[in-house]
Structure 1
Amino acid sequence: MDYRVHVDRLPELDDAVQDLAETVGRPLAVMDPSMRVVAYSIHESPEDRRRLFHLLAHSDAWPRPRTSRQAWQVESFPEVGPLAFLPLSDPQRHPVGYLVTPEDAADRPALIDAAPQLAELLRARRRESAEREERSRRLAVDLTSGNLHARESAAELLITERFLSDAEGYCAVALGVDPRDPTPLAREKAAQAVSRTLRFVRETSTATVIGGIMDAPVGVLVFPRPVVVPRLIRILEQPQVAPVRAGVGTLLPLADVHHSFGQARLAWRASWLAPADHQIVTTWDGAGLDATLARLPLEDFTLADLPPSTRDLLGTIDSPLLLATLEAYLDAGGDAQRTARELNIHRSTLYYRLDKLRTAVPGDLADGTLRRDLHTGLRMARLAGLVPQP
């Protein structure tokens, strides 16, 4: 049989596997090079279904079959017993996957004869999958950063082509390395974080999510549901992804998801401006004032850009301890008892420090307007890196 025919004239991989299984009278499965099951025939008996369950659940953690001059390799696994693997290769003999049977098959010639066709169909599926993935990446970028026409077109295509499910709300995520000092690997790191998240969702669920990379470079993800922050933290804590951080926007209709991405991007930026105060995944709501201040070009700020009271304070006081005390006092709304408790110091020590600060503050710390200016001004200064560090 001539297997060198156009892909459009070949049966689909799933049907080809089922047809072959009917011919040889045994259940079959096809794995990709990572040992992940990508196609399988009907498994009727309880024993066959149990074996298939273990293949689907665990095979991607199994070692690859040992290389050998023999066409077939038989490997035994505690959960399923012996399995026979027939390597599937492209015309250049590069491995593209495996045909798997539950035992050393008696009808080897028919399976070996079918191997080129299965390999070609597997390659075609991989090409189609890669093309769809690239298309979804472009649409994800258009949806969150394009003009109105591009966003509307992307939203329609993402639903009609089933990249995303139709949902009441969609949540955008921005992720990447420090925007103030991007490394040469910034784009690669962002792409890696996007790919690992997409792969995690794909391999652990049937849920939909899309992602891509902006020119900035900033990664973007779009979920048709709220983001589970602890789960995303676990993905970004992997050493291969560090030091990527992420921001998460609010849930909005698909037509407005670019606003969610705008929020996500500011939350991501805020988490880098104050990494000690935010988790590696920071939500728009959780970032609070920092996300709003992140709109400012804080990297270019000098003392002259701060409110006069903050400028005068920082021009006089350079003690990180005193400045941290004032910030804690302002955070506590001027409550001395609460401030002393938060700083774990005696109230007399707090009053001593506040007296020193009052000499540098042009006004009364009991004045609400002054406290507001100092509170916001000091936060701006800290995000801009203008507050002395210990």
Structure 2
Amino acid sequence: MDHLPELDDAVQDLAEATGRRLVVMGQSMRVVAYSIHESPEDRRRLFHLLAHSDAWPHPRTTSKPCQVETFPEVGPLVFLRLSDPQRHTVGYLVTPAPEDGADCPALTDAAPLLAELLRARQHESADRTEHSRRLTVALTTGSPHEREAAAAALIAERFLSDAEGYCAVALGVDPRDPMPLAREKTAQAVSRTLKFVRETSTATVIGGITDTPVGILVFPRPVVVPRLIRILEHPQVAPVRAGVGPLLPLADVHSSFVQAHLAWRASWLAPADHEIVTTWDGAGLDATLARLPLEDFTLTDLPPSTRDLLSAIDSPDLLTTLEAYLDAGGDAQRTSRELNIHRSTLYYRLDKLRTAVVGDLSDGILRRDLHTGLRMARLAGLVPTR
């Protein structure tokens, strides 16, 4: 990512003027600029700061501008607070504490300029992030012209690397019953994923949020599902779930997002049957059925055989038995094993079901209608539960 160069130059000029090795950290304690570190000891200290400083506690600089903090791997460090005109902390200038304990007035004098340059960089970064979010939404949900322009901009402005395929992800809370903090939860999930990728690799990924709100992520590679599951399992973003679309060329990534959105819907329609991250292929028929306005379905929207069955039977055990029997292709032995019931119990239940079904359960067309119809009913919340 390109940055305004003034902060880097100012830090290096100050380092040469003072003979100090300098590092600038932002409010999150992440390193954002540093001077040349030549000696092996200086480089070792810098590498440790780059890898671990964002996990450190903030220095206690509220009562005075400078504070010395000691960390086992790097020794004592001087933290000089960088503040905006309203005296709000925007970051820190960090340097190894001198052995003689002498202050360095030049660092204190340079603090206002460094703070101003750091704020400019932060504003630039925030503007670039917002621009990336708008392009992400346009790429996946815009008109053909908007998608084409967004794709070109994302590559030209180096938000995304040029790759053979791109994978879209849709994520958010339950679309049928959005919670008051739906947008905040979705935004946290998108930001947390982007932050994880940024801080653990040099890979690129972009994200945004639609007005709905549904979160969007686009990866220039296949998504590692177990890794995304670990990110979304964090209490801060629960109960967000995600759907993952297939790998497609950048010009077709909107289609990947459509399928990701359907997989995400399917995972919410049947959360007990899907992981919190569900792929389009893994969602199977549920993803196809998710195209339907299942939230508005009533019994009259179901196939006649399913409608008649649900009107006559309200026993969850009987309906679960029929679904398992149909899942097993009418194999009684397999059905008994899956339900962990005796074969005679299965036959008893099937006999009761046959009285409520018009037709022969061995008929393929009837089985097809019942199997698909019951799945539709379950996704629509029309199947009674205990």
TM-score scaled by structure 2? Answer: 0.96
> Any conservation in 2 of the 1:24–1:107 contact (CA below 8 Å)?
no
Aligned-pair CA distance for 1:188: 1.6
> Any conservation in 1 of the 2:134–2:208 contact (CA below 8 Å)?
yes
In 2: Cα distance, 1:213 partner to 1:69 partner: 40
Aligned-pair CA distance for 1:70: 3.8
Aligned-pair CA distance for 1:222: 0.7
Aligned-pair CA distance for 1:69: 4.2
Q: Which amino acid aligns with 1:177?
A: V
Q: Which amino acid aligns with 1:147?
A: S
In 2: Cα distance, 1:249 partner to 1:71 partner: 50
TM-score scaled by structure 1? Answer: 0.95
Q: Which amino acid aligns with 1:355?
A: D
* Counterpart residue number, 1:150: 146
In 1: Cα distance, 2:7 partner to 2:343 partner: 75
**1:48-127 equivalence runs, <5 A:** 48-67=42-61, 69-104=63-98, 106=102, 108-127=104-123
Gaps of 5+ in 2: none
Aligned-pair CA distance for 1:106: 4.2
- Structure 1 residue 318 and structure 2 residue 314: aligned? yes
**1:1-390 equivalence runs, <5 A:** 12-67=6-61, 69-104=63-98, 106=102, 108-390=104-386
Q: Which amino acid aligns with 1:280?
A: I
Q: Which amino acid aligns with 1:161?
A: E
Q: What does the per-residue CA deviation read over 1:93-151, in whole Å, with 9 as the maximum and x for residues that have no partner? A: 11111111111474611111211111111101000000000000000000001001000
Q: What does the per-residue CA deviation read over 1:302-323, in whole Å, with 9 as the maximum and x for residues that have no partner? A: 1111111111111111100000
Q: Which amino acid aligns with 2:154?
A: L
Aligned residues: 382
> Any conservation in 2 of the 1:175–1:218 contact (CA below 8 Å)?
yes
In 1: Cα distance, 2:301 partner to 2:65 partner: 73
> Any conservation in 2 of the 1:89–1:116 contact (CA below 8 Å)?
yes
> Any conservation in 1 of the 2:61–2:81 contact (CA below 8 Å)?
no
User: Do the aligned partners of residues 216 and 306 (structure 1) sit closer, same or farther apart at CA in structure 2, a change above 3 Å counting?
Assistant: same
Q: Secondary structure at the match of 1:240?
A: coil
In 1: Cα distance, 2:180 partner to 2:62 partner: 42
Q: Secondary structure at the match of 1:44?
A: coil
Q: Secondary structure at the match of 1:39?
A: strand
Aligned-pair CA distance for 1:11: 5.4
Aligned-pair CA distance for 1:181: 1.2
Q: Which amino acid aligns with 2:195?
A: R
Aligned-pair CA distance for 1:191: 1.2
In 2: Cα distance, 1:68 partner to 1:190 partner: 33
Q: What does the per-residue CA deviation read over 1:229-270, in whole Å, with 9 as the maximum and x for residues that have no partner? A: 111111111111111111110000011000000001000100
RMSD between aligned residues: 1.4
Aligned-pair CA distance for 1:71: 3.2
In 2: Cα distance, 1:116 partner to 1:211 partner: 34
Gaps of 5+ in 1: 1-7
Aligned-pair CA distance for 1:183: 2.1
Identity of aligned residues (%): 84
Q: What does the per-residue CA deviation read over 1:266-291, in whole Å, with 9 as the maximum and x for residues that have no partner? A: 00100110010011111100000000
Aligned-pair CA distance for 1:198: 1.1
